[in-house]
Amino acid sequence: MLIMSKPSKKKRAPIGVFDSGYGGLTVLREIVSTLPDYDYLYLGDNARAPYGTRSFSTIYDYTLQAVKYLFEQNCPLVILACNTASARALRNIQQKDLPNIAPDNRVLGIIRPTAEVIGDYTKTDKVGILGTPGTVKSESYIIEIHNQFPEIEVHQEACPIWVSLVENGELKNAGADYFVQDKMEDLFAKAADIDTVLLGCTHYPLLSDTIEKYTPKGVSVLSQGKIVADSLKDYLRRHEEMEIRLSKGGKRKFLTTGNAEEFSSKTKVFYGRKVKAKKVDL
């Protein structure tokens, strides 16, 4: 007698969200508000942050380790909620690693979805991108924006000190004023008629009050959290094969490679409320 075994059904699992540290929480916050039913597993590589000033190969190695870790936790879908990791590691992971390590899983970044909508905002066809040195050097925003909107002129400014300002809670004081004004003047010196400025680093939305202070009137300052959340919603609508692999129940778990207590104490600022975290090693 032939015994037919039932095809094994994979258990549903959370969406993995990765960042070098705290910044991805500003993106997760918007994703959770747009797609509240899913479960999420957040991983911040705080022990090795910031990534923004690190070499291409280091950012790639660290990001790949994090993606593998989230796959081992069964996450079928991982969002790189970090511009630097999206700029420096995503393409290699998608094209080189994924087919070998987990061909049915997916890793998505946050640069392409942002680039796809930037043309809806600019009227002068001149946009400014503020990001880490890693993101700026990769020219990923220039490449992705030109794929969609070849007519848009893209001007970039690297603002490495802004990540330290945010991590240290220096959001609205003389120090923040000094470093923000300096970079905004450098950006607008490149093209005075920029009418859209993208905060292309997940930390920068926390400095937005100070950034707005030094932004010429009429210029839009865009944060990408909501843009990424809407794009993920659309992705899940179009990819039923992935959607059915995701668990629902509204659970959120937070992991850090750094100090769990310190991570928890900063979640109020980045995520809007304090949450508990667990320390893990990659």
Task: Name the site residues for ligand DGL (rule: CB under 6 A).
Answer: 19-21, 23, 49-52, 82-84, 132, 135, 163, 201-203
Query: Which residue from 257, 207, 239, 215 is spatially nearest to 15, judged by alpha carbons?
Result: 239
Q: Which residue lies nearer to ligand DGL by CB, 132 or 267?
A: 132
Distance CA(185)–CA(164), nearest Å, equals 20
Q: Which residue lies nearer to ligand DGL by CB, 201 or 255?
A: 201
Tokens standing for residue 228: 């990424």
Instruction: Mention every residue, 6+ apart, whose C-beta is less than 8 A from residue 185.
Output: 214
Closest distance between ligand DGL and the C-beta of residue 175, in Å? Answer: 18
Closest distance between ligand DGL and the C-beta of residue 58, in Å? Answer: 11
Tokens standing for residue 132: 């880490």
Q: Which residue lies nearer to ligand DGL by CB, 156 or 202?
A: 202
Collapsing DSSP states into helix, strand and coil, what is residue 23?
Answer: coil
Query: Which single residue brings its beta carbon nearest to ligand DGL?
Result: 52
The residue from 110, 184, 201, 246 that is catalytic is 201
Closest distance between ligand DGL and the C-beta of residue 21, in Å? Answer: 6
> Left, alpha or beta for 120 (phi > 0: left; psi -120 to 50: alpha)?
alpha
Closest distance between ligand DGL and the C-beta of residue 72, in Å? Answer: 22
Distance CA(95)–CA(71), nearest Å, equals 16
The residue from 27, 70, 79, 82 that is catalytic is 82
How far is CA 138 from its chain centroid?
A: 15
Q: Which residue lies nearer to ligand DGL by CB, 19 or 157?
A: 19
Is residue 159 part of the annotated active site? The answer reads no
Residues annotated as catalytic are 82, 201
